[in-house]
């Protein structure tokens, strides 16, 4: 390897998935691996998708995992893969020592920060939407309870009026 040629970073990802039916989760893992192949700066070196196993605790649900060996041009691409595909486990195979300039560390850390801010924004949006839905649900249940109470009051008045009519007769 010439000094100008970059050495790839090789790593193994363990991607886990739970779902049903069994065929669907295998198909989904294969689609994820195919999508990973199309990522910038990423080369898929080897893959192994394991057969699904039915969960003991939840009948009808299956679990499987894939071992995906990747080669990336730069550490920042590894960080992107981590956040995008959320593997259950990752192991860097080579090189044994990673040396990065502060410029490259800036790239990696800024990518991590950018992704974390995106997740935080999604979490805040979901919290706000949850609060709105809870308020609407409370209002709807409150109206339903009020309507039910009004209906009971009207029926009680009708029965009282019938009793009063009988007394007056």
Handedness of CA 84, 85, 86, 87 (dihedral sign): negative
Taking the model in full, what pTM does it have? 0.62
Phi, psi for 7 (deg, rounded to 5): -95, 130
CB 85 within 8 A of CB 38: no
Q: For 9-97, CATH number?
A: 3.30.70
Contacts 24+ apart (CB under 8 A), 43-50: 43/8, 43/70, 43/71, 43/72, 44/68, 44/69, 44/70, 45/10, 45/69, 45/70, 45/71
Q: Which two tokens stand for residue 119?
A: 């997740």
Q: Which two tokens stand for residue 36?
A: 């990973």
Q: What is the pLDDT along the chain (169 residues), one digit of tens a residue?
A: 333 346 789 999 999 999 989 899 999 999 999 999 999 999 999 999 999 999 988 888 999 999 999 999 888 889 889 888 989 999 999 998 888 788 888 888 888 888 888 889 999 999 999 999 999 998 888 876 666 555 555 666 667 677 777 666 6
Q: For the chain, what are the domain ranges?
A: 9-97, 100-169
């Amino acid at each position: 390897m010439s000094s100008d040629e970059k050495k790839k970073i090789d790593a193994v990802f363990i991607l886990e998935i739970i779902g049903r039916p069994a065929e669907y989760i295998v198909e989904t893992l294969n689609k994820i691996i195919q999508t990973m192949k199309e990522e910038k700066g990423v080369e898929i070196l080897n893959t192994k998708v394991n057969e699904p196993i039915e969960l003991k605790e939840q009948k009808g649900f299956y679990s499987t995992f894939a071992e995906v060996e990747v080669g990336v041009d730069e550490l920042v691409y590894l960080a992107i893969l981590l956040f995008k595909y959320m593997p259950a486990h990752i192991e860097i195979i080579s090189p044994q020592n990673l040396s990065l300039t502060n410029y490259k560390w800036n790239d990696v850390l800024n990518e991590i920060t950018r992704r974390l801010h995106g997740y935080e924004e999604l979490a805040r949006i979901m919290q706000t939407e949850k609060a709105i839905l809870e308020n609407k649900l409370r209002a709807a249940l409150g109206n339903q309870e009020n309507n039910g109470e009004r209906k009971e009051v009207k029926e009680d008045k009708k029965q009282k009026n019938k009793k009063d009519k009988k007394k007056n007769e």
